[in-house]
Amino acid sequence: MNSKIKATAIKFGNNIDTDVILPGKYLILVDPNELAKHALESLDTEFTQKSKKGVILVGGKNFGCGSSREQAPLALKYSGVKCVIAESFARIFFRNAINIGLPVIECKGISSAVETGDELAVDFEAGKIENVSNAKKFQVDKLPPFILEILADGGLIENLRRRMNKK
């Protein structure tokens, strides 16, 4: 997976929970493309239309709080979200996103530096975020090497397959 991403931002607020990202009634769906149709629908009925072209989701504090449902980051990824940047993340969502190959970056101050529609350039390996629309730049702590390896492989399963085949 390319660690450099460029896309338009869609911004949300604090505490975006997993019930709002992907409601419980859709958890019986198994096809990620079906899940994607319902991503964030109770916050924005047009989200999947807007995200189709490929977007970067920007969130406030505690993004992804609530359930362990992996269907939440899956729905976002398959609806076109290339990466999620937030002030802070709920821990299960953070791990799930990495495990399915959806880059997540914690960046304090990102909420006030980005508006929906801004063009963002992200290099998650280097920990660099740039808001091209207003020239604001951020340098964040790099993710540990083994997590970057999982993302580079496209997810935990792909990473595990590669490591187990090596042996």
Partner 1 sequence: MNITEKILAKASGKKAVHPGEIVDANVDMVMVHDLTGPLAVEAFKKIGIQKVWDNKKVVVILDHQVPAESVKAAELHKTMRQFAKDQNLRIYDVGKGGICHQVMPEKGHVTPGTVIVGADSHTCTYGAFGAFATGIGSTEAAAVFATGKIWLKVPSAIKVNVKGSFQKFVTPKDLILSVIGKMGVDGAIYKSAEFTGPTIKSMCMAGRMTMCNMAVEMGTKNGIIEPDETTRKFLEGRVKSLPNFEALKSDKDTVYERTVEFDVSKMEPQVACPSSVDNVKPVSEVGNVPIEQAFIGSCTNGRIEDLRLAAEVLKGKRVKDGVRALVIPASQEVYRQALNEGLLEIFTDAGAIVCGSACGPCLGGHIGLLAAGEACVSTSNRNFIGRMGSTQASVYLASPATVAASAVTGKLTDPTTLETKA
Q: Which residues bind partner 1 (CB under 8 A)?
A: 14-15, 17, 19-20, 23-30, 42, 61-62, 65-71, 88-92, 95-96, 99-100, 144, 146, 155-157, 160-161, 164-165
Using the structure block, give the residue that is written with the tokens 């959806």: 102
- Compute the distance between CA of residue 31 and CA of residue 38 in angstroms, rounded to an integer: 12
Decide: residue 136, CB within 10 A, 0-12 exposed, 13-18 middle, 19+ buried: middle
Output 17 or 130, the one with its CB closest to partner 1: 17
To the nearest whole angstrom, how small is the minimum distance from the Cβ of residue 108 to partner 1? 13
Question: Do the Cβ atoms of 1 and 152 come closer than 8 Å?
Answer: yes
Output 126 or 160, the one with its CB closest to partner 1: 160
Output 7 or 36, the one with its CB closest to partner 1: 36
- Identify which of 81, 110, 97 has the alpha carbon closest to the alpha carbon of residue 13: 110
To the nearest whole angstrom, how small is the minimum distance from the Cβ of residue 158 to partner 1? 8
